[in-house]
Structure 1
Amino acid sequence: MRDEAYGVLRIPRLGLAVPVAEGVERRAVLDKGYAGHYPGTAQPGAEGNFAVAGHRNTHGEPFRYLNRLREGDEVLVDLRGRRYTYVVGKVLAETSPGDVGVIAPVPRSAVRPGSGYEAVGSYITLTTCTPEYTSTYRLVVWGTLKGVVSAGR
């Protein structure tokens, strides 16, 4: 269901814990303070790209400080008794809102050549608007799956 969380995204470096819901519609998902899973992208842990959007300003602004993430930072996704750990590998400081290549199964920018990945894998993509207080461009953070553990381990 689009207006219910089904997992939690955690970014220790930012002290962030935000519920994840299906979809990226503003009114039904993002404006409720959720991080929204892009339909048609992979689920956590699966081969492909688990792509998530969130507001940078307003509505809980879960991705307010996404620009502070650096290579090596961890992004955790808790879902159905499992924790998926991703490690940030690349940051694209600015691209167009229509750059759908950033959420492709092998994420790479269609606008900024050389930005993204080339090989099949298990990725996470976090997107938000930039610069702050505008929706002119998108900031993109990519990571790769490091591991999966069951709850209680």
Structure 2
Amino acid sequence: MKVAKPLISLAVVYLLLGPILFLLERNQLGMEALKQILPIILLGTFFFAFSFFELSFGDRLRRTQNKTMTGFYLTTKVVRLLSALVLFLIYALLVKTQLLYFTINLAGFYLVTTAFLSYYYIRVESKSKSEAKAS
């Protein structure tokens, strides 16, 4: 499975991002930041699961239908954005406290995931194009 290496890299990035976000919030809020530990863990889990399915499906699609990859890339970015908005709305309606810090955490995970996966897909596409030129 070719998605294991990027998933491990993404897991390491999330393991670093979570504590960084928490420490930044702790400097601002003090012990009140402890309320953001569970949302940070849940956001990391959500974005990791979403990335796992995206990478798995994209790997399978790349092997069978290379022409539809551009649509796949655009679709996954739109779905990720809509999912982030739905998460924000759910948190805003249910919890209603520390919304700014949750938004910062959500934006952090969203931007890191988008940047990481964009870099990964650019690398994969350039590799496949160079292999196609060579043959």
Q: Assess same fold via TM > 0.5.
A: no
Instruction: Pick the TM interval, shorter chain.
Output: under 0.3
More helix by share: 2
More strand by share: 1
Larger radius of gyration: 2
Q: Whose relative contact order is higher, 1 or 2, with alpha carbons under 8 Å and at least 6 apart?
A: 2
TM-score computed with the length of structure 2 as normaliser: 0.28
TM-score computed with the length of structure 1 as normaliser: 0.25
